Amino acid sequence: MKSKGIENPGVPDTGTLSGQLLAGKKIVITRRAEQAETFAQRLAELGADVLEVPTIKITEPTEKMGLVDALLELNSYEWLVFTSANGVTAFFELFFRRFQDLRDIGGAHIAAVGPATAAKIRELHLQVDLQPDEFIGKKIAEAFKKYQDIENVKVCLLRAEAANRDLPLALEEMGAIVDDIPVYCTVAETEDRTGDAARMLESGADWLTFTSGSTVEHFHARFDLPALLKKFPQLKMASIGPETTKAIAALGLKPTLEAKEHTTDGLISALLKSAKA
């Protein structure tokens, strides 16, 4: 499958915009601090007043034996599957603690869910063999099926601890032998280093942006999302995609918009479309 690349043609070049389409809009970013810089910069270039309120941070998985076994058996897998840039970073940090040579990764094919994940893999000069177009478990499994018959194919799924089970179940339904290996753990971020969380609680905002189910869950645990929406009726929610929307729906809520392209670029496109409406 041909890679779609990193850039989203639906997002205008913020450096050449004649007007700041998000001027005066206070937009909250909830993704972890290390990943927020580019997203925040693009929103700011469009005129937004950006509040960085990270709700998650990444730690090593609590259960490591599965990963230890997977590292010892890398040559037995036909596919290594990464579902996030965080997963790529976490896996290779652990990989290079044990191995000195990237060639020790073996001859497995590599699948990357999403352009950011694919870009992170390519930074290591590794080829991405499959990049599913959609971020939904069954759609990812169908992309594999189009690429090859996965009956009895051994797949190593490298992702977050306690992640949604839809993807491994969908692959197993198609006959794959799946090892679902946690390479990192998402935990709550509670520090307010910039004071932006306090600003949000004091005067609200126009938009809350959520880029994963875990950002929704940890934001709610920290701030009580339904109560915050009740306190600030003008506050709207923007979801990056279906899995994030599911987490919002689990709270009995519905996002104002969901990005068609499930990336931060797609989220910006959706916000711009809303601003023009």
128 in Cβ contact with 121 (< 8 Å): yes
Strands laid side by side in the 236-239 sheet: 49-52, 26-29, 207-210, 236-239, 257-258
For the cut 80, the answer to whether the pLDDT of residue 99 exceeds it is yes
Question: What stretch(es) of the chain map to CATH 3.40.50.10090?
Answer: 19-55+189-276, 59-187
For the cut 90, the answer to whether the pLDDT of residue 145 exceeds it is no
4-8, 89-93, 147-151, range with the lowest pLDDT = 4-8
| Domain covering 19-55+189-276: architecture | 3-Layer(aba) Sandwich (3.40)
Evaluated on CA atoms 83, 140, 111, 10, the torsion sign reads: negative
Higher pLDDT, 111 or 14: 111
CATH class of 59-187: alpha beta
User: What integer is the mean pLDDT of 5-18?
Assistant: 41
Per-residue confidence band for 19, with pLDDT thresholds at 50, 70 and 90: low
> Based on the number of CB atoms within 10 Å of its own CB, is 169 exposed (0-12), middle (13-18) or buried (19 or more)?
middle
Per-residue confidence band for 269, with pLDDT thresholds at 50, 70 and 90: very high
174 in Cβ contact with 137 (< 8 Å): no
- Three-state secondary-structure class, residue 126: coil
Per-residue confidence band for 3, with pLDDT thresholds at 50, 70 and 90: very low
Per-residue confidence band for 120, with pLDDT thresholds at 50, 70 and 90: very high
For the cut 80, the answer to whether the pLDDT of residue 212 exceeds it is yes
Nearest one of 192, 229, 182, 186 to 211, comparing CA atoms: 186
For the cut 80, the answer to whether the pLDDT of residue 141 exceeds it is yes
| pLDDT for res 111 | 95
| pLDDT for res 210 | 97
Q: Please, how many CA atoms are within 13 Å of residue 11, restricted to the half-sphere of its CB? A: 23
